[in-house]
Amino acid sequence: MNGLLKIKKQQKDHKTIIDFAGSKIGNGNFVVIAGPCAVESQEQMFMTAKVIQDMGTIFMRGGTFKPRTNPYSFQGLGIDGLGILEQAKKKYNVIVSTEVMSTEMVDVVSRNVDILQIGSRNMQNFDLLKKVGKTSLPVILKRGLSATIEEWLAAAEYIMCEGNRNVILCERGIRTFEKYTRNTLDLSAVLAVKQLSHLPVIVDPSHGTGRSDMILPMAKAAMAIGADGIMIEIHPNPGEALSDGDQSINFAGFTDLIGEVQKLKKVFNYC
Amino acid sequence: MNGLLKIKKQQKDHKTIIDFAGSKIGNGNFVVIAGPCAVESQEQMFMTAKVIQDMGTIFMRGGTFKPRTNPYSFQGLGIDGLGILEQAKKKYNVIVSTEVMSTEMVDVVSRNVDILQIGSRNMQNFDLLKKVGKTSLPVILKRGLSATIEEWLAAAEYIMCEGNRNVILCERGIRTFEKYTRNTLDLSAVLAVKQLSHLPVIVDPSHGTGRSDMILPMAKAAMAIGADGIMIEIHPNPGEALSDGDQSINFAGFTDLIGEVQKLKKVFNYC
Amino acid sequence: MNGLLKIKKQQKDHKTIIDFAGSKIGNGNFVVIAGPCAVESQEQMFMTAKVIQDMGTIFMRGGTFKPRTNPYSFQGLGIDGLGILEQAKKKYNVIVSTEVMSTEMVDVVSRNVDILQIGSRNMQNFDLLKKVGKTSLPVILKRGLSATIEEWLAAAEYIMCEGNRNVILCERGIRTFEKYTRNTLDLSAVLAVKQLSHLPVIVDPSHGTGRSDMILPMAKAAMAIGADGIMIEIHPNPGEALSDGDQSINFAGFTDLIGEVQKLKKVFNYC
Amino acid sequence: MNGLLKIKKQQKDHKTIIDFAGSKIGNGNFVVIAGPCAVESQEQMFMTAKVIQDMGTIFMRGGTFKPRTNPYSFQGLGIDGLGILEQAKKKYNVIVSTEVMSTEMVDVVSRNVDILQIGSRNMQNFDLLKKVGKTSLPVILKRGLSATIEEWLAAAEYIMCEGNRNVILCERGIRTFEKYTRNTLDLSAVLAVKQLSHLPVIVDPSHGTGRSDMILPMAKAAMAIGADGIMIEIHPNPGEALSDGDQSINFAGFTDLIGEVQKLKKVFNYC
């Protein structure tokens, strides 16, 4: 009834804008959501939240339930991590996003953070989509590893069908034969989504390339094609990160990136 | 502790054999698990169970919670379907397998069926893997659409870590550029799994090809390479199936297939 | 005029059968074309031709112009290799197939061998296709690394358009994300070709898997689905092969394979 | 001896710059090579050359030998097309690039144009690579449909080994499962090549996406990541183009694109 395709037909000029007490996604702004792959400690998250506050970028990510291929890898701090996120949020006034991996955790996670993330492995975990569709929190829906654009939009529809229209799509690279990069970042998918849907779409160059040295140039490319923002991994010390250090930049790199983003906002007519 | 890799090192000749009151998977037998994509009615399932009983193949599949790409497609009969499966099971003495899609449904589904299936979209739904790992039912773990063999085995490990060692792997085709077939059935994955693991592995030529005319030849190929069985879609009237009719065979086709399987069992030294 | 699609419409039951003085491909027989990746010496080829003669399989392959990814790798013996092939052919009465890589070499190569091969890298080297289409020798056309079935058949059409209707298709694996095997052998492509075309189709499990231990089971699978034959790499000492040793079997393995093939010919109704 | 890897070790700061009587590629400039997929008539090419001259972009492309999947499709004007290219070149003083498809045509084509193109289907047509490596003309080497970055660089090495060091790499999209776009444009490959090689690299958003509406945004993205230029398809009337009309822009679109490129050159520090 109130799904993607139907709205699209009725309101051609409609664009979904998501409002966090004044900070918006989808309104012609370019947002930067930054933070570590995994929440490791209060100290780490406070340092991260502070640099985000200093940069004025507001949005922070941090994983506390981590979907890891290997069951013996670090799985995240779980509930303890949620507590840390909430403390950082209150102390530094950042908007916090974290992944939710199972229907059973949706309620708990929703109490602590501002944005729910659905990871690429769960893009077609339909019960999870329905469950987050019943919350009032915005949802970042990552594209599945080998999901077509059509399947990705249909997954968004699962969330919206339940009443939650605040979906943010996130292109994070697809799996191809090429192994120089962790995945192949498909920037044309951003353009496709802009043609087919009214939803905001952001880009994750950290997962999309798996290489810290490609984050900045891909962030610029994301601006060039009109994405609504990026989600990147930053860490006080990427070499010691408990996961995904290879695709994280340090705070100096983050500061540079924000400088570039500010410069390009005018060039590419972001507000 | 009791995971895949560890066992493998300790017991080189170990092979996981799963025993259903005498009917076994992984013991050198070739099993045929057949049934419709979706449970549609009691009549349909009774007809299906009867032909399975007549053929002496015992294993029946039927989906009642259906993961569908499009939220507006038929989603399965849900709890009602479980009831039908249980009735067919009791009346025809078949061993029933069905997909479970969410952690919350694991307990309910476990009461009605003999085997739990994890679909390809959920291969890395780690909370679901852990939950079925705590049950005592055998689990068929389908390979993800673009999962590497290593990721697939690691997913199996998630189940086994929780104590449930009765995992059956199922190759069901991977996503490639080729669109003549729905997926590309990767028979070499069966050989790889046999080299790397002690788990039984079956093949799903219905999803693997998406074409009813390829089911029989691919079933024979599965025997030729030493798979432990197949899972196929059969329907009293494929043209009217509520889902996946194109990749289902009718009962006459099923009878022929069983005839071929019987003939080839001796040729390929199945027990 | 005399192309694939047109013939198909006119003669539904037409099947292309290729006749080498009595030895046929496409007539319901299952042929085994064996030999080293690269011709290395007269001694090697005589040994190979002898084992082929002893086994009664007649068809021998051997590359003398080698398309190598790296320009500094061994590139084959070139013209000298052609001489060796011709000597082996005369001495042991085998039917010889070799790859031709450029239009300029087509005439020279045609004088020495019985079958021309077009490698997967050259599947859409259209000038080469046209040139071999003007010869009277049968042509084995390997599927391109990422060629769709439709593109593959269209490439065959390029050869047939020029008058040479003796095309043998060869499925040799496609490139996918999976790296456990060198390529992903797409056996469903054989079934597809049988539906869409009148051409014989063989399978190359050596390139298709890149693993010597998968050659025998995949050869059996090729028989199970009704392929017209296989092309495999054999070498007197795979460990010392100048190229592709990992995907070659030795003569003992070859003898075993022929034994299995003989046994299965009756099972699968080959003539 | 004088190949890619060796040079790289000896001269870390070396960058290959290709000079066309003052117009350079690889010197920190951003070039736009534009023209139709296929040369169709003198009128068309004169119109195209004139708009290129007016825009001051100098580089013109146009195919006269066309590699077409289907043998019954328009195959290009052949030798006649070369004559048209040469006339346009002389009259409008543009630098002309065209594809060469076979070793036999290399000498003829070299007499009429300024740059030779190797198409993606021929990226591993090694005899062709060697032959153009013996000419003195710069060569645009398109990445193969499913070529890894390593294979692509090795193909460039084939050309350079023969003495011709003026190779320009061209990323033109890779084949993936996604079909909304014709190919998936892999911008991270540009970054990879910049890390691994001293060769200039350009981007082809026409083939890379197959959609005219994506050409401009992808051109901007190519600038954002530091590519040395783009190659795009333009046509006086894309709707009537004999090939690839869907991925061509008209002259008005071309003029807009050049305006954007000029604006962004300063932003991204091009010279």
DSSP labels for chain C? --SHHHHHHH-TT----EEETTEEESSS--EEEEE-SB---HHHHHHHHHHHHHHT--EEE-BSS---SSTTS----THHHHHHHHHHHHHH--EEEEE--SGGGHHHHHHH-SEEEE-GGGTT-HHHHHHHHTSSS-EEEEPPTT--HHHHHHHHHHHHHTT---EEEEE--B--S--SSSSB--HHHHHHHHHH-SS-EEE-HHHHH--GGGHHHHHHHHHHTT-SEEEEEE-S-GGG-SS-GGGEE-HHHHHHHHHHHHHHHHHTT--
pLDDT given at position B3: 44
Provide the percentage of residues in chain D whose pLDDT is more than 70: 95
Q: How far is CA D228 from CA B81, B232, D21, D202, D207, in A?
A: 60, 53, 18, 5, 17
Secondary structure (3-state) at B261 = helix
Q: Is residue D22 part of a domain?
A: no
Contacts of C189 in chain B (CB under 8 A): 178, 180
**How close B205 gets to chain A, by Cα (Å)?**
20
pLDDT given at position C244: 87
pLDDT digits (tens, 9 = 90+) for C83-99: 999 999 999 999 999 99
**Interface test mutation site (partner C, options A146, A176, A177, A178, max chain C beta carbons within 10 A):** A177
- Binary contact (B126, A68; C-beta < 8 A): yes
Q: Is residue D41 part of a domain?
A: yes
Name residues whose C-beta falls within 8 Å of residue D215's C-beta, 6 or more positions apart in sequence.
D205, D206, D209, D232, D247, D249, D253, D257
- Give the mean model confidence (pLDDT) for residues C62-74: 92
**pTM for the complete prediction?**
0.95
Q: Is residue B136 part of a domain?
A: yes
Q: Is residue D35 part of a domain?
A: yes
Secondary structure (3-state) at D192 = helix
pLDDT given at position D12: 54
- Binary contact (C220, B225; C-beta < 8 A): yes
The residue in chain A having the minimum alpha-carbon distance to the alpha carbon of residue D176 is A176
Please name the member of A121, A126, A161 whose beta carbon is closest to the beta carbon of B101.
A126
Q: Is residue B80 part of a domain?
A: yes
Residues B187/C187, Cβ–Cβ less than 8 Å? yes
Residues C235/C36, Cβ–Cβ less than 8 Å? yes
- Binary contact (B176, C184; C-beta < 8 A): yes
- Binary contact (C184, B188; C-beta < 8 A): yes
Task: Give the residue ranges of chain B where pLDDT is below 50.
Answer: 1-10
Angle subtended by helix axes B251-267 and C251-267, to nearest 10? 140
CA distance C88 to C114: 12
Tens digit of pLDDT at every position of chain A (271 positions): 334 444 453 455 689 999 998 999 999 999 999 999 999 999 999 999 999 999 999 999 999 999 899 999 988 999 999 999 999 999 999 999 999 999 999 999 999 999 999 999 999 999 999 999 999 999 999 999 999 999 999 999 999 999 999 999 999 999 999 999 999 999 999 999 999 999 999 999 999 999 999 999 999 999 999 999 999 999 999 999 998 889 999 999 999 999 999 999 999 999 9
What is the pLDDT confidence band of residue C133, given thresholds at 50, 70 and 90?
A: very high
CA distance D184 to C175: 15
pLDDT given at position B9: 39
Nearest to A202 by CA among A97, A76, A66: A97
Chains that touch A (3 or more CB pairs under 8 A): B, C, D
pLDDT digits (tens, 9 = 90+) for A74-99: 889 999 999 999 999 999 999 999 99
**Interface test mutation site (partner D, options B145, B146, B174, B177, max chain D beta carbons within 10 A):** B177
Q: Whole domain around residue B105: which residue ranges?
A: 31-267
Please name the member of B103, B145, B154 whose beta carbon is closest to the beta carbon of A102.
B103
- Binary contact (B70, A154; C-beta < 8 A): yes
Block residue for tokens 């399932």: B45
- Binary contact (C187, B189; C-beta < 8 A): no
The residue in chain A having the minimum alpha-carbon distance to the alpha carbon of residue C174 is A177
Residues A138/A169, Cβ–Cβ less than 8 Å? no
The residue in chain C having the minimum alpha-carbon distance to the alpha carbon of residue D161 is C71
Please name the member of A209, A223, A264 whose beta carbon is closest to the beta carbon of D188.
A209
When the pLDDT of each residue in chain A is averaged and rounded to a whole number, the result is 94
pLDDT given at position A55: 97
Tokens linked to B268: 């390929």
Q: Is residue A219 part of a domain?
A: yes
Secondary structure (3-state) at D206 = helix
- Binary contact (C161, D126; C-beta < 8 A): no
Q: Are strands C18-20 and C23-25 parallel, antiparallel or unpaired?
A: antiparallel
Name residues whose C-beta falls within 8 Å of residue C38's C-beta, 6 or more positions apart in sequence.
C62, C63, C64, C66, C74, C76, C77, C81, C241, C242, C243, C244
CA distance D188 to D226: 11
When the pLDDT of each residue in chain C is averaged and rounded to a whole number, the result is 94
Contacts of C177 in chain B (CB under 8 A): 146, 148, 174
Find the chain B residues whose C-beta atoms sit closer than 8 A to any C-beta of A.
3, 67-72, 101-105, 121-122, 124-128, 144-146, 150-151, 154, 157-158, 161, 175
How many domains does chain D divide into? 1
Size of interface C-D (CB pairs under 8 A): 75
Residue A243: give its domain's CATH number: 3.20.20.70
Provide the percentage of residues in chain D whose pLDDT is more than 90: 91
Contacts of C105 in chain D (CB under 8 A): 127
Q: Is residue A47 part of a domain?
A: no
Q: Is residue C258 part of a domain?
A: yes
The CB density around residue B90, as the number of other CB atoms within 10 Å, is 11
Name residues whose C-beta falls within 8 Å of residue C101's C-beta, 6 or more positions apart in sequence.
C65, C67, C119, C122, C128, D125, D126, D127
Task: Give the residue ranges of chain D where pLDDT is below 50.
Answer: 1-10
Please name the member of A191, A217, A225 whose beta carbon is closest to the beta carbon of D226.
A217
Greatest CA span in chain D, whole angstroms? Answer: 51
- Binary contact (B178, C179; C-beta < 8 A): no
In the predicted structure, residue C2 carries a pLDDT above the cut 70: no
Q: Is D17 left (phi over 0), alpha (psi -120 to 50) or beta?
A: beta
